[in-house]
Homo-oligomer: A and B are copies of this chain.
């Protein structure tokens, strides 16, 4: 456990600024006195792009590499054409820093609103592959804009990439009480990638006899997310299916305002990046209405990744206690929620 934490901060757009401020507040409050926190803010996102046309210059990419971890708020604004910041900044970071484990825990905390009747017991984590699949940017468009246009998207999957994320998921499943791992894919239609995923999953699984395994097609998985979410413990899946499933998971566990995520490079070769699953929500930006809890829970994932397990748990316990006391009365501001959590983790 390092006694200094050299953090890159990318507040980004919209509510990104506000929620990151609360994340840092709670981080400062929870860190032991002797851990020196240094932060450097990076001005990246929609405003920067409008001003300079840049999404992520090489110099900044190099500089980001020097940090222990990255905390990101949210990226995106309707004024920027769809895809520019996603591909040029967010995904560029995930790919450049080889964030092959996109970690997304879903837990239904007591007293939080779920659209599901009967409040099932939900506590699972999705290990979403982060560097392959349909997210590679492979593909193209021929005769663009004409009636004869052909557009392709190529999902690229390698045994190297699949095995490392599957192995990571088995390790996580092994460390949890229920020790269950579900592979989600669509191997009855996407037979090339799907069979490779399934074969590797089965082979690696032989090294983990204590882990119970299951396979579901992605369409069936969405059904179980709403009818029987308690059946899941750890899920491993491809980049696009993971994107879809984790938004649905967030929706059934109290909403996107609580969903944390980590873009993790488990080898430590590059800094890992932690961000809420939600977007920049420009419609409520600057009004103190955003719930910073997802960012604060992302800070917990960040601390755990860097070996500060005690502090991670302290944040998660504080969030659980805070949510348990939310009475649905007057809504608190972004700042008030951050303050309340900072007090709890320090106390």
Chain A residues packing against B (C-beta within 8 Å): 76, 82-83, 86-87, 91, 114-118, 134-135, 137, 139-141, 143-160, 163, 186-196, 198-199, 218-220, 222-223, 225-227, 240, 243-244, 246-248, 250-252, 255-256
Contacts and interface: CB of A to CB of B under 8 A. Distances in A.
Closest 6 pairs between A and B when the two form their complex, measured CB to CB = A219-B247, A149-B159, A222-B248, A83-B191, A223-B251, A117-B117
Copies per assembly: 2
Contacts of A158: 148-151
A277 B17 CA distance: 44
A317 B239 CA distance: 42
A94 to B, nearest CB: 11
Contact of A115 (B117, B146, B248): B117
A24 to B, nearest CB: 27
Interface centre among A117, A150, A222 (most CB of B within 10 A): A222
Contacts of A240: 186, 189
Nearest to A147: B159
Contacts of A154: 139, 152-155
Contacts of A188: 76, 82-83, 86-87
Nearest to A191: B83
Nearest to A242: B219
A172 B137 CA distance: 33
Given A155-B152, A222-B222, A256-B223, A189 B134 contact: yes
B192 A140 contact: yes
